[in-house]
Chains A and B, each alone.
Chain A
Amino acid sequence: GNSVTQMEGPVTLSEEAFLTINCTYTATGYPSLFWYVQYPGEGLQLLLKATKADDKGSNKGFEATYRKETTSFHLEKGSVQVSDSAVYFCASGGGSYIPTFGRGTSLIVHP
């Protein structure tokens, strides 16, 4: 079946540091790929998405590129802020694909 694997956390960074959270997927065919963010006590919010190979999703300074050759969708941000502290989920799905989520990666940003 389909699966999504993302790096375990927590990831601890200082403010303005560069962020990378790795995500790889397995799927039959070419699902859409997403990053969601979950703040404490809240549900998930869509952060960005990419629907086909080589697409780059971007939002709020975060970026991720759909890499078919490496089956990856790594999340990056050039300069993190304390307010970015949250749990980040990589996911695949869309269309006829049942949504599949990674385990989540906790990000802690210190001032």
Chain B
Amino acid sequence: KAGVTQTPRYLIKTRGQQVTLSCSPISGHRSVSWYQQTPGQGLQFLFEYFSETQRNKGNFPGRFSGRQFSNSRSEMNVSTLELGDSALYLCASSLDRDRGTYNEQFFGPGTRLTVL
């Protein structure tokens, strides 16, 4: 079974531009979460989508948005890029997330975004 794939693997953008990152979850997984990883802040939760609906959101500004398609693939968008947005963006998928239980998350390799 193929793992979580993320495209592109590397991106270089300039301040003020916008960027779209893509994530394809493991087949059959309906929950997709996004994380930002930086040396200074560590791993921070951005948002989670399940069945095309945002189910949870971390503490990030509105410039960060996402969506999920009917095939569970997900995209995240960052508008008006800032230097501080440079990070590794990780996507994780899981079968489901019932309240009170935990389903293992499978992470992709990430997209390395550099903002100049």
A residues engaging B (CB < 8 A)? 32, 34, 36, 41-46, 49, 51, 89, 91, 93-96, 98-104
- Please tell me if the beta carbons of A94 and B101 are within 8 angstroms of each other in the complex: yes
- Please tell me if the beta carbons of B101 and A95 are within 8 angstroms of each other in the complex: yes
Q: What B residues does A42 contact at CB under 8 A? A: 109
- Please tell me if the beta carbons of B45 and A98 are within 8 angstroms of each other in the complex: yes
Interface band, chain B? 20 to 34
Supply 6 A–B pairs (Cβ within 8 Å), ascending by A: A43-B90, A46-B104, A49-B104, A89-B43, A98-B58, A99-B105
For chain A, what secondary structure do more than half of its interface residues adopt (helix, strand, loop), or is it mixed? strand
Q: What A residues does B104 contact at CB under 8 A? A: 46, 49
Instruction: Point out the residue from B4, B99, B101, B102 that lies within 8 Å of A43, measured CB to CB.
Output: B4
CA of A34 to CA of B92 in the docked complex: distance in angstroms? 15
Query: How many Å from the CB of B105 to the closest CB on chain A?
Result: 7
